[in-house]
Amino acid sequence: MVRILIADDSRVIRTRVASWIAAELDLELVGQAESGTHAVELFVRLHPDVVVLDIEMPGLDGVETLRQIRTIDSSVPVIMFSALTDSGSRMTVASMLAGASDYVAKPISFQVEEQTRQALLERIRSLVRSSPVLAVETPSPAVAGPQQPGPSRSPEVIVVAASTGGPAALGDFLAAVGTVDLPIVVVQHIATHFVDLLVEQLGEQLGADVAVGEDGEFLGPGVIRFAPGRVHVELKRRARQLLLAYSDEAPVNSCKPSADVLFDSAAAVTHRPIAVVLSGMGTDGVKGARAIVASDGVVFAQDQMTSVVWGMPGAVVNEGLARTIGPPGNIGARARALAMAARSARLEVTS
């Protein structure tokens, strides 16, 4: 039985969600909170398996409530349940960067209520199935496999794939990478209307050049570029320079943008690319990771214990493609070390 805590300042919403849960044999509502403060109190007392958390609440809002929950337990899935107004959307993205597992939009009318009910119940079940059996209180070190690229090898780009649980992992990974001489290109599976907000907030958080990539844009050192929604991105060459290109081909692995498309192109046109697969559902990125390895690149994967969903990184690990496995911050530090070693090697050659 999955034990659920809901926090929402609207009694109507709490009653509605309670009725949805009561109709399911495998779900149980163990607590209802009308405020963020009450939610934290109930979380400590009831130890729920899943939290459904409103964004916009008076007093302690959803983002701050989430942060307090995460100081108590970093592994319990938390689903943000928000009306996607402009303010709600910004706070939803902020909550994902703060460690929310997923989000579901509140119904805007009775006509879409059934769709919302199905989406929320699906998220609850999928996140519980995907949750690690054991929790960790401190990050485990990255586990590095053999045949690590040495200083004589010069990676040219870092390509990253993420989905459910990805925003928070991306924040940790990119912060650990810091400013390097390589461009970073990211495919994050997320609703299109969240992409610009995620990029904006990550840019503020990192103090870096973070933007949605433009079709035909040349990729300079140190830039971080995200795929826009509903279009694939590829790496191409023009006059020996690396650039970003859009592709309107069909979805790959039911994803558009797809990590496989980005990874395949990196393997084809760049020298020894570094590919990173972070938390997410599905298997997008496995085929591309195989191409990265075949091109003498290296693949890093987030470990199971720190992943919200170990689908994408787990598939890469199970295929034997990941050379380094660890928490996002650790593999970010490893990527930075490779990039800095390559820079030092280039300076020695030119000096």
Residue whose pair of structure tokens reads 């009308």 in the numeric block: 34
Q: Which of 49, 54, 260, 284 is catalytic?
A: 284
pLDDT tens, residue by residue, 91-105: 999 999 999 999 999
Q: Where are the domains of the chain?
A: 2-130, 143-350
Angstrom distance (rounded) from CA 148 to CA 132: 28
pLDDT tens, residue by residue, 246-278: 999 999 999 999 999 999 999 999 999 999 999
**Which residues are CB-contacts of 107 (< 8 A; sequence separation ≥ 6)?**
113, 115, 116
Residue type, 304: Q
| Residue 235 half-sphere exposure toward CB, CA atoms < 13 A | 31
Q: Which of 101, 163, 279, 295 is catalytic?
A: 163
Same CATH fold assignment for domains 2-130 and 143-350: yes
Domain at 2-130: CATH code: 3.40.50.2300
Q: Cite the beta strand spans of 21-173 per DSSP E.
A: 27-33, 50-54, 78-82, 102-105, 143-144, 158-162
Instruction: Note if 271 is an active site residue.
Output: no
3-state secondary structure of 285: coil
Instruction: Note if 260 is an active site residue.
Output: no
Residue type, 69: I
Written as tens digits, the pLDDT of the chain (351 aa) is 999 999 999 999 999 999 999 999 999 999 999 999 999 999 999 999 999 999 989 899 999 999 999 999 999 999 999 887 778 899 999 999 999 999 999 887 766 789 999 999 999 999 997 765 433 333 445 555 544 444 445 899 999 999 999 999 999 999 999 999 999 999 999 999 999 999 999 999 999 999 999 999 999 999 999 999 999 999 999 988 999 999 999 999 999 999 999 999 999 999 999 999 999 999 999 999 999 999 999 999 999 999 999 999 999 999 999 999 999 999 999 999 999 886 665 555 454
Residue whose pair of structure tokens reads 């973070």 in the numeric block: 210
Q: Which of 35, 130, 189, 307 is catalytic?
A: 189
Instruction: Note if 163 is an active site residue.
Output: yes
Identify the CA nearest to 73 among candidates 140, 6, 154, 135: 135
Q: CATH classification of 143-350 is 3.20.20.70, yes or no? A: no
Answer yes or no: are the C-beta atoms of 101 and 127 closer than 8 Å: yes
pTM of the full structure: 0.91
